[in-house]
Structure 1
Amino acid sequence: MLRNPNGLSYAVVVLLAGNIAFDVLLAAIELRFLLTDAATAFFDPAVFGAFDLNAAYDMAFTLYVATGIVFIVWFHRLRKNAEVWAGDLQSRKPGWAIGGWFVPIANLWIPRGIAVDVWRASRWQPYAADGARELVLLNAWWTFWVADAIVDRVASQLYKRAETADAHITAASWSLAGYLLDIIAAVLAVLFVRRLTSMQHTKATGMIPATQ
């Protein structure tokens, strides 16, 4: 049975927008740190004022987790809808639309494969060959998401080991790169969510198909 994903898509977009806002704020903090004397600037009130960095990081992390949960619920719903239209095109069971995100290392490609299957089932002609640039948006989103995940991991490890000003500068540089990648990935995710949701809505309601 088809289920309407529109409400969930709006929630995902709002949460992604919140992530973008926090990324911009935290990226600005990292940049401010890099442009000041690293030996004295780290968590220095004279640099950051009364702004509570720990609270900002906690809020950003909470929002990130909430976004992930809602996104996965939305993703699973679209996968279930895809089963109705072209179940034979789906290479993995619907449960993988949730579980695939939590498999170490394999989560770098399993969700993308599911997304491609769902995309094909959601277009007007599921069994047609892929267009030359049809999957550009999906692939761009996934590429930046994976790159961000890797860079964030490196930055986290560098911060844990940082004991000198130079080490903090290196960690902050990686962290800043991670925030910039995350902003791009989030923007692309918004476009991907709206596009795929629109495709399913168009198909479910029998409207004249938009250009695929």
Structure 2
Amino acid sequence: MRGLATAVVALIAVALVLEWAGVTVRWLGYRSVSGRYEGTVSSAEYNATRDVLMPLEVGLWLLSLLVMLVVFIVLVGWMLRTQRNARTVSPVSHHLSAPWAFWGWVVPVVSLWFPPLFLHDIAKASNPQQRGTPLVPLWWIAWLTAWLTFWAGTVLTTSGISDDHDTIQTLRDSEVDSLFTFSLLRTVAALLFLAAGILLSATVLKISRAQSHWTPARS
């Protein structure tokens, strides 16, 4: 279990680094837009910065989503393995069968509570004396809130500015403020993703550590 657990934690760390790199680029973009709007950044400087930052930001977000997909695949494998171990050794019953380790994430409606339920049962079976762990519900709350904040920023606010061509000088204060709000919501989402990543990593390590004690020492 330790190999899979280490892989999950390492991939989560990579995803978080990419997430925060994207947030940093987002604020650099906002700084460039606000500077151009206030007249402290020239048109040439603005367009040069925009040509670098926009594809970089998009690339970082896409790469972070790709890493999240890999995290999902490895995490599902870890969940299947740990549930099988728990069913073999522990008498504690499980609410969900093994296929729900995957389908619980993708089936509409039930995906809102099946993943934490699946993980809670594994945690409880791995250490019956503790009857589960508060890390699981805290992780799930942070995870759902992070995605809600992320999409709220995308849907409700301005996500980018077009090429300069002097049009940026016609921007209204509300549009610049909207771009600030967008950047702020992305930052809040990144903080929530960070919390979710730490909580999930701690849960994975805790369960894997508990199950590692089940393996007899070899002479």
- Out of 11, 16, 19, the position equivalent to 1:15 is 11
Shift of 1:182: 0.6
Q: Aligned partners of 2:203 and 2:130: how far apart in 1?
A: 20
With the length of structure 2 as denominator, give the TM-score of the two structures. 0.76
Q: Identify if the C-alpha distance between structure 1 residues 190 and 129 changes in structure 2 by more than 3 Å, giving closer, same or farther.
A: closer
* Counterpart check, 1:53 vs 2:57: yes
Structure 2 contact 124–130 (Cα < 8 Å) conserved: no
Report how many aligned residue pairs link the two structures: 195
Aligned to 1:26: 22
* Counterpart check, 1:189 vs 2:200: yes
Q: Identify if the C-alpha distance between structure 1 residues 79 and 38 changes in structure 2 by more than 3 Å, giving closer, same or farther.
A: farther
Shift of 1:129: 6.5
Shift of 1:137: 2.0
* Counterpart check, 1:148 vs 2:181: no
Q: Aligned partners of 1:104 and 1:160: how far apart in 2?
A: 29
Higher Rg: 2
Runs of 4+ in 1 over 6 A off after TM superposition: 160-163
Q: Identify if the C-alpha distance between structure 1 residues 19 and 119 changes in structure 2 by more than 3 Å, giving closer, same or farther.
A: same
- State the AA in 2 paired with 1:106: V
* Counterpart check, 1:115 vs 2:119: yes
Q: Aligned partners of 2:4 and 2:70: how far apart in 1?
A: 13
Q: Identify if the C-alpha distance between structure 1 residues 40 and 53 changes in structure 2 by more than 3 Å, giving closer, same or farther.
A: farther
Unmatched 5+ residue regions in structure 2? Answer: 38-45, 162-174
Shift of 1:28: 1.6
Q: Aligned partners of 2:152 and 2:91: how far apart in 1?
A: 39
With the length of structure 1 as denominator, give the TM-score of the two structures. 0.78
CA deviation map 1:124-180 (0-9, x unaligned): xx3x473xxx62222222221121122223223235887844433333222221111
Aligned to 1:209: none
- Name the stretch that deviates more: 154-163 or 164-173: 154-163
Q: Aligned partners of 1:44 and 1:140: how far apart in 2?
A: 43
Q: Identify if the C-alpha distance between structure 1 residues 65 and 104 changes in structure 2 by more than 3 Å, giving closer, same or farther.
A: same
Q: Aligned partners of 1:166 and 1:108: how far apart in 2?
A: 33
- Name the stretch that deviates more: 24-33 or 179-188: 24-33
- Out of 72, 89, 92, the position equivalent to 2:93 is 89
Structure 2 contact 124–133 (Cα < 8 Å) conserved: no
* Counterpart check, 1:158 vs 2:156: yes
- Out of 132, 137, 140, the position equivalent to 1:139 is 137
Q: Aligned partners of 1:205 and 1:81: how far apart in 2?
A: 14
Q: Aligned partners of 1:201 and 1:85: how far apart in 2?
A: 12
Structure 2 contact 5–205 (Cα < 8 Å) conserved: yes
Determine what percentage of the aligned residue pairs are the same residue: 20
SS in 2 for 1:204: coil
